[in-house]
Amino acid sequence: MNSKIVCALVLLLISGFVKNANAELSPEVTLFQLQFNKNIFVSGEKIWFKNSIVAGHETEHQTILYADLCSEGQIINSCIVQRNNNHWQSDLLIPDSLSTGVYLFRAYTGNYNGKPEMVSRLVTVINRFGNNTTNESRKLEPGYMSFDNINVLPADLGSEIKLTTTKNRVAPNSSVVFTLNANPDKYISGVSLSVYKVPEENILSNAEVQPEKKVISSVADQVKIYNTLTLSGIVTNSQTNEPVVGEVVLFSVPDTVPQINYAVTDSKGEFIFNVDGYYGRQDVIIQTLSKDSVYQIKVYPNLLTPPLKIPFYVPSEVEQSEFVKLAVNRQLLAKAYTAESSEVVIKPQFKYPFYGQTDIVTIPSMYVDLVDFEEISKEILPLCRIRKEKNSASLRLYDPDKLSFLESPWVIVDGVPVFDVKLLFPLNSPAIEKIVTQKQIRCYGALYIEGALSVFTTKGGYTDMPLPANAVRLFFDTFRYPQEFKKYKVEPNSALPDFRDVLVWEPMLDCQSATCSHTVSTSYEKGNYIAVAEAIGRDGEVQRTVLKFIVK
């Protein structure tokens, strides 16, 4: 009997051990892993980053990531990144004018309920022009703490990833081969590799401290982060300040191919647009369809507010260290000699105008110059008729097939709907590239479009045109395409000097097997370097290996 009890206990222990060894995160837990390409930055540089997500539930709905660099009470720079291969990767530019100090880098997305899930890291920035106003003012604040992120290096975590090299001492402008042993199928975010220069002495291991928790945040409970890229806001009556319910709101981007989106305000007067199809910085015009009353449009930022307080400063001995001085000189030389990396070029996609195709195109330059749009409509637009009254004007289109007029056609200028015909009057022949006429009735979703007259100006982009009534114009930052870090790809026989302190930044290594090799080119910069290979598994455990070598 006793032997049976002992066997049962042993089996329970073994089964519990196996269960724990293969356990994944619970559905309520979400983990992020935020990585940078190095641990000290100089103003004018880019912070290259990668953020991975592992959760106990499905994360396919978490497609976008908001990333920003914050000071106290302000956001310095930000970007929006689309998820790819179970992680986000991009870069964030540090302004040249940013003062020496400690700043907060945040990366956040929305969970199932739209609540923000965030990971953050403190960033040490050294101004390359000697501006340390922020840092000096923080030193005078009582209770502020010294933060040395330069001498703190990552430490090994776990034993599943191995990184080796054939030689630990290499010459400048030479090659070194790293061999990585890791199972790529085991890590949902893939394995990253970063090789960068570190101080030659006073190197500390990465202690398990989280100074980011001491940053005083101003995140409100009602903040909602959407899982898809959206632009939302509210429409109110300018006289009563009451929300306007059921109003159609138009979203348009000045372009050569007219495309609009529309939304209807809800019971709170709020509207929301899904703008997942846009990339880069967009020039957006938002207006209400109705022009009978004066409405006010307020666009929500949909982003977290910056922190109230970052209670850290860079110590004086770090600012005056030889490593920091060399980093500043290196950045100045790199700005002078290194070619700038080009932005990712987005191939234009062919689109039809929202009012459909038409073959009625008028090019004013083919005719004698006309002084205003009234003359243009009379002389070279046979289907267009403008009727002027005391304080207003209207436009209608003639349909020769049906022998009737379209009384309320849409007027579009550079892709932007314009409902006041008088705004067209100053346009003369030199200001107009072409005029497209659509004499057919179309339905665009719930919108009834009774023909269209689309004007494309010579300058384009809705330039020098007054905004329509009840409209706002703003620049809207949308998705960034992930860029490749190109600084370590040295051109053979190049005459440019190489001052790189980051030799490699690969957010996701292309490893098809458990063992793969990676060749790295060293720069002119002598000193101590580390190679860091890192990954995060489905159980949330971080695996990291750190290899030190010398360039001399």
Written as six digits, the tokens of 163 are 């990184």
Would the pLDDT of 26 be above 60?
yes
The domain covering 30-219+306-338+487-551 belongs, at the CATH homologous superfamily level, to Immunoglobulins (2.60.40.10)
How many CB atoms are closer than 10 A to CB 473?
Answer: 14
Q: What is the pLDDT of residue 224?
A: 78
For the chain, percent of residues with pLDDT exceeding 70: 88
How many CB atoms are closer than 10 A to CB 273?
Answer: 20
Q: What is the pLDDT of residue 495?
A: 64
**pLDDT top residue among 28 and 133:** 133
Would the pLDDT of 100 be above 60?
yes
Q: What is the pLDDT of residue 228?
A: 87
Residue tagged 């790295």 (tokens): 520
> For residue 65, with 0-12 CB atoms within 10 Å meaning exposed, 13-18 middle and 19 or more buried, which class applies?
buried
Q: In the chain, what is the straight-line distance between the N-terminal and C-terminal CA atoms, in Å?
A: 70
Domain ranges of the chain: 30-219+306-338+487-551, 360-460
User: Mean pLDDT over residues 381-405, rounded?
Assistant: 87
Would you place residue 36 in the very low, low, confident or very high pLDDT band (cuts 50, 70, 90)?
A: very high
**pLDDT top residue among 3 and 506:** 506
Would the pLDDT of 18 be above 70?
no
Would the pLDDT of 151 be above 90?
no
Segment among 5-19, 331-345, 506-520 with least mean pLDDT: 5-19
Q: Which CATH class is domain 360-460?
A: mainly beta
| In contact, 200 and 326? CB cutoff 8 Å | no
Q: What is the pLDDT of residue 493?
A: 57
Strands 30-36, 46-55: pairing kind: antiparallel
Residues 6+ apart with CB under 8 A from 514: 181, 182, 183, 184
> For residue 492, with 0-12 CB atoms within 10 Å meaning exposed, 13-18 middle and 19 or more buried, which class applies?
exposed
User: How far, in Å, CA of 274 to CA of 67, rounded?
Assistant: 19
Would you place residue 2 in the very low, low, confident or very high pLDDT band (cuts 50, 70, 90)?
A: low
Would the pLDDT of 323 be above 70?
yes
User: Mean pLDDT over residues 372-401, rounded?
Assistant: 89
Would the pLDDT of 14 be above 60?
no
Q: What is the pLDDT of residue 19?
A: 39
| Structure confidence by residue, pLDDT tens digits, 222-253 | 777 888 899 999 999 999 999 999 999 999 99
Would the pLDDT of 490 be above 60?
no
User: How far, in Å, CA of 96 to CA of 341, rounded?
Assistant: 17
Would the pLDDT of 166 be above 80?
yes
| Structure confidence by residue, pLDDT tens digits, 345-369 | 667 777 889 888 888 999 999 999 9
Would the pLDDT of 15 be above 50?
no
Closest among 360, 423, 415 to 394, alpha carbons compared: 423
User: How far, in Å, CA of 437 to CA of 423, rounded?
Assistant: 18
Contacts by residues 392-399 (CB-CB < 8 Å, ≥ 24 positions apart): 392/422, 393/421, 393/422, 393/425, 394/421, 395/421, 395/453, 397/437, 397/439, 397/451, 397/453, 398/439, 399/439, 399/440, 399/451
| Structure confidence by residue, pLDDT tens digits, 289-321 | 999 999 999 999 878 889 999 999 999 999 999
Residues 6+ apart with CB under 8 A from 402: none
Give the single-character DSSP code of 240. Answer: T
Would you place residue 481 in the very low, low, confident or very high pLDDT band (cuts 50, 70, 90)?
A: confident
User: Mean pLDDT over residues 47-54, rounded?
Assistant: 92
Would the pLDDT of 4 be above 70?
no
Q: What is the pLDDT of residue 11?
A: 44
Would the pLDDT of 342 be above 70?
no
Q: What is the pLDDT of residue 489?
A: 53
| In contact, 224 and 236? CB cutoff 8 Å | no
User: How far, in Å, CA of 331 to CA of 277, rounded?
Assistant: 36
Output the average pLDDT for the chain: 87
Give the helix/strand (H/E) hosting 212. Answer: none
Segment among 6-20, 109-123, 420-434, 454-468 with least mean pLDDT: 6-20
Closest among 271, 254, 270 to 262, alpha carbons compared: 271
| In contact, 69 and 35? CB cutoff 8 Å | no
User: Mean pLDDT over residues 473-482, rounded?
Assistant: 89
